[in-house]
């Protein structure tokens, strides 16, 4: 449950808050314009940074799992469900 709340909080920070900022992006004075190319590039850069970070964490976790639970690991023993007795 904590993971879901954390995920929703991250999504709110990364997506909802910048979207609201764009929705209310009118300048304080008339004549101030929003450069949408800069804003779109900024959102793209943020999301790509998050995507690469998440990808690196997932890849690192997978490498650790494969290394930890390999057959040649000294502490690796078959479980009762595998049908072999040691």
pLDDT digits (tens, 9 = 90+) for 25-67: 665 666 667 778 888 898 899 889 999 999 999 999 999 988 8
Output the average pLDDT for the chain. 79
What is the pTM assigned to this prediction? 0.52
First vs last C-alpha separation in the chain? 38
Domain extents in the chain: 32-75
What pLDDT is recorded for position 53? Answer: 95
What is d(CA 47, CA 61) in angstroms, rounded to the nearest whole number?
21
What is d(CA 71, CA 66) in angstroms, rounded to the nearest whole number?
10
Does residue 85 surpass a pLDDT of 60?
A: no
Section 3-20 average pLDDT: 79
What is d(CA 86, CA 79) in angstroms, rounded to the nearest whole number?
10
What pLDDT is recorded for position 48? Answer: 94
């Amino acid at each position: 449950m904590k993971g879901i709340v954390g995920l929703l909080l991250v999504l709110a920070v990364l997506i909802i808050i910048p979207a609201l900022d764009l929705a209310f992006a009118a300048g304080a004075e008339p004549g101030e314009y929003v450069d949408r190319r800069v804003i779109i590039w900024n959102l793209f850069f943020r999301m790509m940074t998050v995507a690469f970070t998440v990808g690196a964490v997932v890849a690192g976790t997978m490498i650790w799992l494969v290394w930890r639970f390999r057959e040649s690991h000294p502490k690796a023993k078959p479980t009762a469900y595998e049908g072999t007795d040691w």
